[in-house]
Structure 1
């Protein structure tokens, strides 16, 4: 690796990357245009836009957008920027509306982004055509309830971009226990580090028993045993192509439809079983309760979202040394009797991912430390070579190694290198 490399892509190799990938503002700026404005970026789950008129404000990279469902049910993603003088149209994180009106000069737009009205239009006679001033729209497609948007008008389809990750999205959505998945709630925080540090974390099984000792000590013996995957040879990570990867921590829960009926339900959920048994049959109860902890894997979708066991983790780059993280709790969307399930899932989520939980604060401390340390010895590389010598192809052809290895990181940086070298 040479510090005189001509393009940022030269700073990433198959087993290491330069520390400046975390600290160089010029590299960060290029990432915003060559990765976040060319990739499919996750913007919403369909349950957040369940009805016509629903909207969500979010970001694609650093550009503010509004995601909407119009009256015909079509999904749209549009820049949150009035075409007149550039003011933001919507400051609410979500809601329901008939359209959007700029608070500065009252230009109004429909849910599909079309310019509907202009106050005092006589001043624009001969100088403005309303049809030419719709909100700038991004291509928007969804798969498995996950909505993505991209600025790349002529790029590959979302399904092609997701590729073999689609199988794992399908499996992740089975945790509804036969019911669809919906968003239950969310919280967000920032950490003082580069976005790629968090991208690495979701398929980093190596850190788990070290960073999360306090969480392991706080849970019941059955949960702790389930998450003791460090020496389990069946716990593996696959690189799925296009920067995506999946880390199987609890392989027997990778496909929740596969159940031989011998795994006992945890005693901690006896009260859930008792309540569900009043309205569901025994098989349905088992299916829902067995999925209480979510799936047995973390799926990383390059560049900005992971489907992590039982929640979504979304990253948003703010600057080279600041990243916003949003944790989205999910649960089954079914009859009222499932409320007990979703309450329990929220408590599980809070215990690990919550701001006062036993997991996320420890993770964030580690991410902060990586950023601080990266400024020391800038010529020293960041290593992503664990398990490289034992990495093999799975029957599907996926590069595969142990769950503690850095296969997922190498996959992400291979995609990063490809996109950053494409001028």
Structure 2
């Protein structure tokens, strides 16, 4: 190693310098060496969300995705088990599936036609005489990841020694259970998605989901586009019950609509929104009033955003999934949710709500993406100006269950995420 390289290492800031209680260094957004370490120490070592069980409902159902740079296939096999397989032939490394989703009886490499079963086992290969006595098919399955699920959410890890998923989720499990109550008695299902790429670091988006401080500013155009009832429902800036919890392990939750945190609780005082009168009228033809009310109250989703470190948010009525493409580029997937088996008119209404905010022509996502890219551009200015995450430190309290709690406009969730980032990046 040259003296110049040694000098660079000596000058490299420590993790304690990069992440402090109230600020983080701008290099976290643009340092390519830090980014490579993030892939190895975070995305390839912990639990990463890869899909929802409704996406692989039947044997043979699959969807493809990536964890960091590594392509994977999420597939339900003939025995009903969900497998997450590395999308890489064991022969010469070509991907064995290029479709985003579908149903298959197996996966065959297009290069040399090695064929794999739904559980990843190598089934056959052409012209096997060239492999006599040098290849045992049982020793060359597709690489299989650790897989577990909670509340229908599927997680996978390349790390065979990763902690149990329930331990990793910890205090987030309670909020995941609450989130799924928006099904109004029906299971939750995905209703399609759209994706886009923004020119910025993945952590900029990670910060955003439990950042209530930006909402009335960045989303001013959205707030002006909705009816008065919806606007009032989302006006949480001065509501003392609108709070953020740090849930441990990088997870956090931001409550925006306190009366919709537990959608099974209804004291009858909330008036159903007039904008959904057509839904109420249609459902009332075949359903009891209590069930109609339950469905209509759930159309906006849960009353909170739940951030699960490092890559998925359960945000009111949709999933937001991030995938880092490079240190300065991130792919975002917005997955619309509906009621599996629920009334079609209600699911259509949920899609319209999703399109209004999250859709590519919606009022929310384009404004968010513009803000994220501006943060990335500004971060290039230099290390003299750190990224502040100190809002609400003066009023953060410790709840009885150990959660750090502050107002929904405070940066408690960001501090929790960066504490986990620092912990994982310190783990060799």
Kindly report the root-mean-square deviation, in angstroms, between the aligned alpha carbons of the 2 structures. 1.2
Q: C-alpha separation between the residues in 2 aligned to 1:67 and 1:7?
A: 38
Q: Is the 8 A contact 2:207 2:414 kept in 1?
A: yes
Match of 1:412 in 2: 417
Match of 1:375 in 2: 380
Match of 2:178 in 1: 171
Q: Is the 8 A contact 2:47 2:162 kept in 1?
A: no
Show the 5 A alignment for 1:7-406.
7-8=14-15, 10-335=17-342, 338-406=343-411
Q: C-alpha separation between the residues in 2 aligned to 1:115 and 1:341?
A: 44
Q: C-alpha separation between the residues in 1 aligned to 2:220 and 2:356?
A: 14
Q: Is the 8 A contact 1:41 1:148 kept in 2?
A: yes
**Superposed displacement of residue 3, structure 1:** 9.8
Q: Is the 8 A contact 1:63 1:79 kept in 2?
A: yes
**Superposed displacement of residue 8, structure 1:** 4.4
**Superposed displacement of residue 279, structure 1:** 2.0
Deviations 1:313-335 (A, max 9, x none): 00000000000000000011115
**Superposed displacement of residue 395, structure 1:** 2.5
Secondary structure of 1:137's match? coil
Q: C-alpha separation between the residues in 1 aligned to 2:335 and 2:317?
A: 9
Q: C-alpha separation between the residues in 1 aligned to 2:168 and 2:306?
A: 15
Secondary structure of 1:166's match? helix
Q: Is the 8 A contact 2:41 2:424 kept in 1?
A: yes
Secondary structure of 1:312's match? strand
Work out the number of aligned pairs and report it.
420
| Structure 1 stretch displaced more, 391-400 or 16-25 | 391-400
Q: Is the 8 A contact 1:9 1:416 kept in 2?
A: no
Q: C-alpha separation between the residues in 2 aligned to 1:281 and 1:182?
A: 23
Q: C-alpha separation between the residues in 2 aligned to 1:384 and 1:100?
A: 46
Q: C-alpha separation between the residues in 1 aligned to 2:294 and 2:43?
A: 38
Q: C-alpha separation between the residues in 2 aligned to 1:278 and 1:52?
A: 36
Runs of 4+ in 1 over 2 A off after TM superposition: 2-10
Deviations 1:304-349 (A, max 9, x none): 00000000000000000000000000011115xx110011110100
**TM-score, length of structure 2 as denominator length:** 0.97
Q: Is the 8 A contact 1:109 1:117 kept in 2?
A: yes
Which structure 2 segments of 5+ residues have no match? 1-8
| Structure 1 stretch displaced more, 411-420 or 249-258 | 249-258
Q: C-alpha separation between the residues in 1 aligned to 2:207 and 2:34?
A: 18
Q: C-alpha separation between the residues in 2 aligned to 1:345 and 1:381?
A: 40
